[in-house]
Amino acid sequence: EVQLVESGGGLVQAGGSLRLSCAASGFTFDEYAIGWFRQAPGKEREGVSCITTSGSTPYYAHSVKGRFTMSSDNAKNTLYLQMNNLNPEDTAVYYCAAAGVCGSSFTGYLERWGQGTLVTVSQ
> Looking at residue 64, what DSSP letter applies?
T
Q: What is the pLDDT of residue 30?
A: 74
Q: What is the pLDDT of residue 54?
A: 60
pLDDT tens track for 58-78: 999 999 999 999 998 888 889
Beta-strand ranges (E) seen in 29-88 are 33-39, 46-51, 59-60, 68-73, 78-83
- Quote the mean pLDDT of the chain: 94
Residue type, 116: G
Q: What is the pLDDT of residue 31?
A: 79
- Name the residue with higher pLDDT: 53 or 2: 2
Residues 6+ apart with CB under 8 A from 9: 18, 20, 93, 94, 117, 118, 119, 120
Q: What is the pLDDT of residue 1?
A: 84
